Amino acid sequence: MFLAFLRLGAGAFGGPAMVVYIKALSVHKKHWLDEEAFQDGVALCQSIPGATAMQVAAYVGLQVRGVMGALITYTGFGLPAFFLMLVLSSLYAGFHKLPQVISLFSGLQVIVVSIIVNATYSFGRGTLKDYRDIAIAITSTLLFWMGVNPFLVIIGAAATGILAFKNIHIVESGKIKQCGTFHVKQIAALLLALLISLALIYLININLVKLATVMIKIDLFAFGGGFAALPLMLHEVVSARGWMDGKTFMDGIALGQVTPGPIIITATFVGYMLYGLSGAIVSTISIFIPSFFMLLFAAPFFDRLKTSKYFFGTTRAILATFVGLLLYVAIKFALAIPWDVMRIAIGIASVIALLRKIDIFYVVLTGALVSVLIIR
């Protein structure tokens, strides 16, 4: 299972689109799960924080080999992205001041804005179902623009959602199914290992604990997949703590798009730029661990959760909030770019290509080539 998901992770471009390939591997090729069990898992992973494709990989392992199976598939699927981002971060740290590299990332920043605009549109089209969702999204954008802490915005949206969607009719299934088994001892052992690791990190470098705490907090609130983490990471890393400037953070997002795996692998870049290899490892583990544990805890009870009006209302409102936060990030990044005719042309072409479903990997590579050749 580890090798199968390692191979799959090495070509995991496209974020949530990789769920289709995980299904092909798990249901059709290996016959680890049947169609119904897999679809239950996808619904579960879309309802909790974290990168959806990573969560689905862990869900398959959980169903087949319990908690350790989940850890194996989760790790295998994510390792290629981590190692490639580590290499790219190291190269960036050494060469980002060269004129050619400056031209490269100057163009890639335009691509990043295009990617986030496309994500806002795609995410919003599937999330904003009526005037209540739209109102929550617009309000979130305004509050974020006014400097309100995004975590407070999300909590407020969750409370609003309970009231706003209380009259929504939810169809209850006649039979309560279990998506997974609750392995108390294994989960307790993993939690203990995590706490011991944090204690050891504290003894080595207290700043690494602060980094871990920030990434854990981001992942806990990142409903809606990897892109949902971007506004939170921007706030924590750039605005609230000043660990790096907005341009460098945008460069990290660009690097995250030429690596396989979820865009929140940008956490590896952030950790490396702050504290080198140890920072990259701590940051990466921390951005994935909370949602992994939430999957382990939620899987056995998902059918009960999805028929709860409280759960439905809070998650729907939170997803609407992230549309607003993505819109804010798109505007903020766009305002930071010194637009000229060439950058505008690259931006428009990129948005059109993404809307036409051209693979994001090729959009980024083409944008990088054009940037090196044309932008000065």
**Which stretch of DSSP H or E encloses residue 70?**
helix 52-95
Domain layout of the chain by residue ranges = 82-374
Evaluated on CA atoms 209, 53, 76, 179, the torsion sign reads positive
Per-residue pLDDT of the chain (376 residues; tens, 9 = 90+): 999 999 888 876 656 667 878 888 999 899 999 888 888 888 788 788 888 889 999 999 999 999 999 999 999 999 999 999 999 999 999 888 887 787 778 778 888 888 888 888 888 888 898 999 999 999 999 998 898 888 898 899 989 998 988 877 665 544 444 555 567 788 888 889 888 988 898 888 999 999 999 999 999 998 877 778 888 999 999 999 999 999 899 999 988 877 877 889 999 999 999 999 999 999 999 999 999 999 998 888 777 776 788 888 888 898 889 889 889 888 988 988 888 888 899 899 999 998 888 877 788 888 888 877 776 5
| Nearest by Cα to 165 from 40, 322, 308, 324 | 308
The CA-atom distances, in angstroms, between 225 and each of 49, 262, 263, 288, 347 are: 7, 8, 9, 12, 24
Q: Which residues contact 212 (CB under 8 A, 6 or more apart)?
A: 198, 201, 282, 283, 285, 286
The CA-atom distances, in angstroms, between 116 and each of 83, 159, 243 are: 24, 27, 22
Q: Provide the whole-model pTM.
A: 0.82
Q: What is the DSSP string of 291-342?
A: HHHHHHHHGGGHHHHHT-HHHHHHHHHHHHHHHHHHHHHHHHHHHTS---HH
